[in-house]
């Protein structure tokens, strides 16, 4: 990051501002769509390096898929999907923060 620290109140305020204005995401969505292949590569590399999709994950997928009770299996699948989504979102936010820092640095140095 760029060394700046933000209070919890500042982060809460920023999140509220983003939530209140859906149009703010139109340009961001265009950028992310353009950058999707590179961002997907970073996500995959980070997940692999962090051990998120290692043997333990594979074992849990196998365990859940082998559950006989349909309702219990569905609950297990939903839990896995929620956990994977949460991890992906957290990594995505971290990448987004660093991307913002890098874009700011490039703009300040006249590279962008």
Domain boundaries defined on the chain: 35-108
Summarize the confidence of residues 28-47 as an average pLDDT. 87
Please compute, for residue 52, the number of CA atoms within 13 A of its CA located in the half-sphere on the CB side: 18
Q: What's this model's pTM, rounded to 2 decimal places?
A: 0.66
Q: How far is Cα 65 from Cα 76, in angstroms, rounded to an integer?
A: 8
- pLDDT exceeding 70 applies to what percent of the chain? 96
**What integer pLDDT is reported at residue 1 of this predicted model?**
46
Non-local (6+) Cβ contacts of 61 within 8 A are 80
């Amino acid at each position: 990051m760029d060394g700046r620290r933000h209070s919890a109140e500042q982060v809460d305020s920023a999140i509220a501002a983003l939530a209140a204005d859906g149009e703010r995401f139109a340009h961001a969505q265009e950028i992310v769509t353009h950058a999707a292949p590179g961002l997907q590569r970073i996500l995959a590399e980070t997940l692999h390096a962090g051990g998120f999709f290692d043997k333990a994950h594979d074992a849990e997928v196998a365990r859940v898929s082998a559950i006989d009770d349909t309702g219990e299996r569905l609950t297990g699948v939903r839990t896995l999907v929620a956990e994977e989504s949460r991890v992906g979102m957290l990594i995505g936010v971290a990448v987004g923060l660093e991307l913002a820092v890098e874009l700011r640095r490039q703009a300040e140095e006249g590279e962008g």
